[in-house]
Amino acid sequence: MADEKDREEIVVAEFHKKIKEAFEVFDHESTNTVDVREIGTIIRSLGCCPSEGELHDLIAEIEEEEPTGYIRFEKFLPVMTEILLERRYRPIPEDVLLRAFEVLDTAKRGFLTKDELIKYMSEEGEPFSQEEMEEMLSAAIDPESNSVNYKDYISMMVTDEN
């Protein structure tokens, strides 16, 4: 019984250190605060994948009562620790991602055209900003065919991450 509690304490301590490291990298002035616009990046760099809506709710939880544009570490730490302990916002497995592309590829060609991709990503769901759309296009679209072979694209991204 005591062993288990010790182990959990060690796990929590490690989480704390990991969260602190990720936070500090974005704490440019060493004030234990980061710009609220970087919070999404920090949470995602720790391996979680909240949706934009979920992220919005999280920020509301950790912001000051009177939002300052900055998030303090003291508020971020407990919330983030909880997220890691509960294994919330797990990342999308590769096969699910592939199936998602296949769903959009109604004609089952093995690719999506640039226009189709733009339409889906920037008009539906939680639409991309122009910057996000441009970045995805620059990496995904093959300029000769003006389309994305999504299977290759996924493999490339997965390799890059590992």
Partner 1 sequence: MGCNTSSTRIENSQTSLRAVLIIQNWYRGYRARLKARKQYALTIFQSIEYADEQDQIQLCNFFSFMLENYTRIRKEEIGLNQLAENELDMRDKQDYVDLIDVPDSYKGPRLQFPLTCADIDLLLEAFKRKQILHARYVLEVLFETKKLLKQMPNFTQVQTSPSKEVTVCGDLHGKLDDLFLIFYKNGLPSGSNPYVFNGDFVDRGRNSIEVLMILCVSFLVYPNDLHLNRGNHEDYMMNLRYGFTKEILHKYKIHGKKILQTLEEFYTWLPIGTIIDNEILVVHGGISETTDLNLLHRVERNKMKSVLMPPREIYKDYNTDSKHSKVDVTISAHGRIKTKGFLSEHLPKHEREQVIDILWSDPRGKKGCFPNTGRGGGCYFGPDITSKILNKFQLKMIIRSHECKPEGYEICHGGKVVTIFSASNYYEEDSNRGAYVKLCSGTNPRFFQYQVTDATCFHPFHQRVSTMENSAIKILKERMISRKTDLIRAFLYQDRRKSGKLPVSKWAFCMETILGLNLPWRSLSSNLVIIDQNGNVDYMSSFRNIHIEKPVKEANSALVETLCRYRSDLEIIFNAIDTDHSGLISMEEFRAMWKLFSYHYNVHIDDSQVNKIASIMDLNRDGSIDFTEFLKAFYVVHKYETMMKPEATNLG
Q: Which residues bind partner 1 (CB under 8 A)?
A: 13-14, 17-18, 21-22, 24-26, 28-33, 40-45, 48-49, 51-52, 91-92, 96-97, 99-101, 103-104, 120-121, 124-128, 132, 135-136, 138-139, 157, 160-161
**Least Cβ distance, residue 2 to partner 1 (angstroms):** 20
- CB nearer to partner 1: give 43 or 80: 43
**Least Cβ distance, residue 115 to partner 1 (angstroms):** 15
Structure tokens at 17: 């250190």
**Least Cβ distance, residue 4 to partner 1 (angstroms):** 17
Q: Do residues 110 and 116 make contact, with C-beta atoms less than 8 angstroms apart? A: no
**Least Cβ distance, residue 104 to partner 1 (angstroms):** 5
Give residue 111's Cα distance to chain centre. Answer: 24
- CB nearer to partner 1: give 33 or 147: 33
Rounded CA separation 118/148 (Å): 11
Q: Do residues 2 and 67 make contact, with C-beta atoms less than 8 angstroms apart? A: no
Rounded CA separation 86/79 (Å): 11
Q: Do residues 34 and 26 make contact, with C-beta atoms less than 8 angstroms apart? A: yes
- CB nearer to partner 1: give 79 or 136: 136
Q: How many CA atoms lie within 13 A of 50 on its CB side?
A: 21
- CB nearer to partner 1: give 30 or 130: 30
